[in-house]
Structure formats: C-alpha cells, structure tokens
Amino acid sequence: MATTPLIRPAQPADAAGIAAVHVDSWRSTYAGMLPDDYLISLSVDTHARRWRALLSSGVRARRTYVVQGEGQGIVGFASCGPQRTSLAGYGGEFYAVYLADHVHGRGWGRRLLGAMAQDLLGAGLHTAVVWVLRDNPSRFFYERMGGVLLAEQPISFAGQRLSEVAYGWTDLLPLARMAADPHVGS
C-alpha cells in the first residue's frame, strides 16, 4: 500500500535531495535523447550548489516544492511561476516536474502538480503551460492531467536538435483539487 507523500515548499537545506532527483531523472528520462557523455557529466554537487543558491535567494517569482516519501527523503520536486514564454492567454508555467523512478505510478505526480496549481492560483495566475521534450514519454502525463497540446518548437540542447511541445490549462482549479484529493496517492 502506497503511503501519502508530504509535499511542501522547498528550503535551502533540500538542495542536495533536489539535485539528486534532478540528475537521476535526467539520466533515466533523457537516455537516448541526449548524448551519453552529457548525461554522465551531470553533477549532483554542481546542481546542489545551484539549487541552494536559488532557494536561498528569496526570489518569490519561482516557487519550488519537494515530495517526501515516508522514510525516503526527497523523492521529487517541481517548480512553477509566471510564464517565461509568450503563449497568449497563459499566465503561469510549470517549469519542472520530476519524481524518482521508484515512486512513479503512485499518484504523487498528480498531487505535486495540484500543489503547484494551488500556488499559481494563490498568486492570481489561473492558467498555465508546461514545456516538455516531444520525445519524453512522460509528456503524456500532462495529457492525462487535462493539459491540451498548444505548440511545438525546435530547440538545440547539448549539441542535439530536438523538439519541445507545450501543454496548457485554461483553468487550474481542477488541478488544484488534486492536491487535496484523499484518493490520489494513497
């Protein structure tokens, strides 16, 4: 039986846990999409320093949440804030959503997305987008969560030509309700 995760705002002390999930998720998710040497070069220590600086900066525009499993430490994180692109009609953006592989399928991603939707609503942002690599199989999670495919654009990353797609929500309230649903992730 899956336990209910604790989802809370990230603190600077969470930087190492966030970095470990970040690097491990990139290595498992983007294997075959990004060059192996790039993925191998990702450093938990470097990412931890970046996350610690970001979380210590006091910048409120970007909010980060962590997921803790009982006795597991940090097993996921997500960030959100104002939209960074120019898709008309969408005020918020989910910048990053990552969970450790061993907690996939428990409903924790739904709760995490719901917590971010609550945050954006609290900031007066009632709509949101997320950008994800087109070849990332996790992109279909956003479709299951009600995201509508909005756009596709080419990007260059780590010497690769890739495509990313945007999903959007015109009403974050249904997502926000997922954060408190006792039937999700229990």
pLDDT in tens, 163-172: 999 999 999 9
3-state secondary structure of 57: coil
Instruction: Work out whether strand 148-157 and strand 6-9 pair parallel, antiparallel, or are unpaired.
Output: unpaired
How do residues 46-78 score in pLDDT, each as one tens digit?
A: 999 999 999 998 776 679 999 998 888 999 999
Q: Is residue 124 part of a domain?
A: yes
Residue 81 lies in a domain: yes
Q: In the chain, which residues have pLDDT < 50? A: 1, 184-186
CB 33 within 8 A of CB 162: yes
What CATH number did the domain enclosing 35 receive?
3.40.630.30
Domain with 108 in it:
6-178
Asked if 74 and 122 touch (Cβ cutoff 8 Å), the reply is no
**Structural domain total, the chain:** 1
pTM of the complete model:
0.91
Determine the 3-state secondary structure of 20 from DSSP. helix
Measured CA distances, 10 to 17, 38, 63, 76 (Å): 10, 27, 8, 11
Residue 186, pLDDT score: 37
**Angstrom distance (rounded) from CA 118 to CA 111:** 10
Distance CA 134, CA 132 (A): 6
Whether 91 is in a domain gets the answer yes
The answer as to whether 1 is a domain residue is no
